Structure 1
Amino acid sequence: MNYTADEVLRVAKRHRNAKRGYLLVNPLQGKHIPAAPSRALAMMKALGEKVAASCPSARLVIGFAETATAIGAVVAKSLADACLYVQTTREELPSGVRTIEFLEEHSHAPEQRLAVDALEAQLAETDTVVFVDDEISTGRTLSNIIAQMKEKLPALREKKLVAASILNRLTAADRERLLACGVECVALVELAPGDYETRAAAFQTRGAADCREPSRRYPYRTLALGRHATPRTGVAIGDYMLLWQGAGLILAERIAWAKHESILVLGTEECMMPGLMVGKVLETKGWENVFFHATTRSPIGISDEEGYPIEAGWQVQSFYDAARATYIYNLRPYHHAVIVSDTAHEAHEAVESIARALRESGCTDIVCLMSRDE
């Protein structure tokens, strides 16, 4: 399926970010705007099919946190169930895990790390390494990480490198710089040059409402799933998808919600693919109004002006760091909400923080589907 910029691109204003004043928001991606899981997965699969056509023997995919974690997983699945999928992360990894650290310079949370142990082993099994992001704007972050990876993983120097993205807006000079690093590009939508700073600056925006300290306790139910492998250190993508499909089936067996009632499946920060899989199972089982999106570390301006994509927002406590604020945007009333998280921490206060935002938006029935990283 072909996609156009009109379908996958909205421009928002970052809130108090001096590095870059705008954010490109994709209404089909299920990050900042609720989307039907099937529609989000179809868009990601369309990119995966383009990658598979370009490099069918690739067996190593790296997805960039936090917005492209699910896209990278779907691209990997499009290549092969045995494809190794590793995502970058802004979270702490277990002691003893070797990492490469790099900066995503324009981001609100620029520090990222990539676990290298599984990558090192898989390099012998692939002729191509695919890097996946939602948007490639200049290619500087990618050039940065590839240079560091080649130092720590010399075998990478002999591999074909592919940068895959939903949106690509590289200039000719940017493309030449990536080609000098040995990187080819595959994109779902090629964007013409645009002045997004000016477009974003035209909107008058406000910050998100603060829900980090709930005024009272909000009831919710928890379904614990035990400890599972994580793409932060590397997973065989077929096994990972089956794991979360199974979680969706467990949930579907335990709920008695009417098929017409609306359901929000809400991921937490980098944990996007699990929620998409759970939401897709619910759709397959006959629920007619299922939506997915996720919390994010990105502060985005909120506006009621016509054409602006972020209409409401709440600041909530992170599931991964009690001292950190995260954000949830464009909530609306749902009959039920399912929070899907892979945090390693007890997150009662974070759940109550999100529960307050959900209740203020008109949702009173909240279920938490919790996994723990191995």
Structure 2
Amino acid sequence: MNYQQKDLVRIAKRENNTKRGYLVVDPLQGKHVPVEPSKALNLFKSLAEKLQGKYEGERLLLIGFAETATAIGAQAAITLGTKYIQTTREVIPDVSYLFFSEAHSHATEQKLVKDDIDRVINETDRIVFVEDEVTTGNTIMNIIRIIRREYQRKIKFAVASLLNGMTEEYLKIYREEEIELHYLVKTDHSGYSAIAEKYHCDGLSIRAIQEDHTQEKLAVSIQDKIWNELPHIISIPGWMNARRFVDAKQYETACKKLAETVIAETSVKQGERVLVIGTEEFMYPALLTGQEIEKIGCDVRCHSTTRSPIAVSTEEEYPLHCRYELCSLYDPERKTFIYDLENYDRVIVMTDSALASLKGLETLIYALRMKNENISVIRWY
């Protein structure tokens, strides 16, 4: 499919971010805006197709960037039949990391599991970094320099992104470094800050965090309905962790098996309107499960929790209108958010969190129960 800027670009306002005042929200990506999962995965396949036939005979390693490009990278690697790993901001026990940073982000620390790169670097001819958008390329250049310094061998690099907003200055740097760029849509970011500034940012923001059993702006009767028992947590074995090196086809097989089990365990019925929610970096398994549920004749939407604190606004053309502030399922001390929850026949929450603390899950269920009653929680382990 031939995508255009109007398909993939909505401008939102970042909250409390002095480095960059705007955020590009992609309505088809399955992160912030609820989307039909097949549309998101088809978008990611279209990006992969830009690479097909380009690097014949080369052994590729695709690296997807946390958190928003984890599913893009996974689907691209699956489409191309390559090896895959994602960057992460989570703590993985008993490993060493390559650290680098994302300067404009609200959560700057990015890392790759060095142990896994050590293991595969001599079997890799080219590393392809996969992003949702590239604006300067500085973050990717940081990790390229680190890899070159660490491994002292000739490795080629490329970048694949849904959007590319690099100016000629940055494009020239990449040309000089012989780093190839692939993308679906070229964007010009010069007017985005002005667009973001014009919005009222008067949308509804709800703190779904219980403090001393009180909740501002919510009636006691609603609290009693929402703060009751958590749904039964369905634990499904067979987890493949894409924060570690995986064969993409094997990862797809594991995710499809997960999807089949989710459909069986939740008794999803044809004709239902279903929401499938991923958690932070755990996006691809939720999107694939959503797509499999679509195939049985359901109207499905997917999006996920995120670290991104984005302002919400009532204007119709603004991409996000209602925000729920949560605790992370991975770290209860970390704030996360989910946007524009609606009413569905069935909601399926999917996570690979160990759920060592249930505080984060409680806040997500709290938010969901404002409009939904039939909620299932899937933990892949």
TM-score (norm 2): 0.92
Which residue in 2 is equivalent to 1:366? 375
Q: Contact between 1:84 and 1:122, CA under 8 Å: does it hold in 2?
A: no
Query: What's 1:196 paired with?
Result: 192
Residue 208 (structure 1) aligned with residue 205 (structure 2): yes
Segments of structure 2 that go 5 or more residues without pairing to the other structure are 214-222
Shift of the alpha carbon at 1:270?
0.4
CA distance in 2, matches of 1:297, 1:196: 21
Partner in structure 1 of residue 281 of structure 2: 270
Question: Aligned ranges for residues 36-185 of structure 1 at < 5 Å?
Answer: 36-56=36-56, 57-80=58-81, 83-95=82-94, 97-155=95-153, 158-185=154-181
**Structure 1 counterpart of 2:311:** 301
Report the Cα offset of residue 58 of structure 1: 4.1
Match of 1:316 in 2: 326
Question: Contact 1:218–1:355 (CA<8 Å) still a contact in 2?
Answer: no
Letter in 2 for 1:330: D
Letter in 1 for 2:160: A
**Counterpart contact for 1:86–1:235, Cα < 8 Å:** yes
State the match for 2:239 in structure 1: 228
Amino acid at match of 2:90: E
Q: TM (normalized to structure 1)?
A: 0.94
- The answer to whether the 8 Å contact 1:269/1:297 transfers is yes
Which ranges of structure 1 fall in alignment gaps of 5 or more residues?
Answer: none
Match of 2:24 in 1: 24
Give the superposition deviation at 1:119: 2.1
Residue 30 (structure 1) shift: 0.3
Q: Distance in 2 between matches of 1:139 and 1:315?
A: 30
1:333 equivalent among 336, 340, 343:
343
Please state how far the C-alpha of 1:54 moved relative to its aligned partner. 2.2
Question: Is this contact kept in 1: 2:64–2:74, CA < 8 A?
Answer: yes
Give the CA RMSD over aligned residues: 1.6
Amino acid at match of 1:43: L
Aligned residues with identical type, % of pairs: 36
SS of the residue corresponding to residue 50 of structure 2 reads helix
Distance 1:59 1:177 in 2: 23
Structure 1 distance, partners of 2:135, 2:369, is 37
Report SS of the residue matched to 2:271. Answer: coil
Q: Could you tell me which amino acid in structure 1 is paired with residue 243 of structure 2?
A: R
* Structure 1 position 212, deviation (Å): 1.8
Matches of residues 285-296 of structure 1 in structure 2 within 5 Å?
Answer: 286-296=296-306
Q: Do 1:128 and 1:161's aligned partners in 2 also have CA atoms closer than 8 Å?
A: yes
Task: Give the distance between the partners of 2:229 and 2:55, measured in 1 at CA.
Answer: 49
**1:74, 1:209 → 2: CA distance?**
33
TM-superposed CA distance for 1:182, in Å, is 3.1
Aligned to 2:253: 242
Asked if the contact 2:269–2:298 (Cα under 8 Å) also holds between the matched residues in 1, the reply is: no
Distance change >3 Å, CA 99–CA 199, structure 1 → 2: same
Tell me the residue number matched to 1:351: 361
Q: CA offset at residue 281 of structure 1? A: 1.4
Matched, 1:280 2:291: yes
CA gap 1:165/1:58 in 2 versus in 1, 3 angstroms? farther
State the AA in 2 paired with 1:78: T
- Equivalent position SS for 1:228: coil
Deviation at 1:125, TM superposition (A): 2.5
> C-alpha distance in 2, partners of 1:209/1:218?
21
Alpha-carbon distance between aligned partners in 1 of 2:49 and 2:229, rounded to the nearest angstrom:
43
Q: Distance between the aligned counterparts of 2:53 and 2:322, measured in 1?
A: 40
Q: 1:131 to 1:108 in 2, by over 3 A?
A: same
Q: Partner of 1:251: helix, strand, or coil?
A: helix
SS of the aligned residue for 2:237 comes to strand
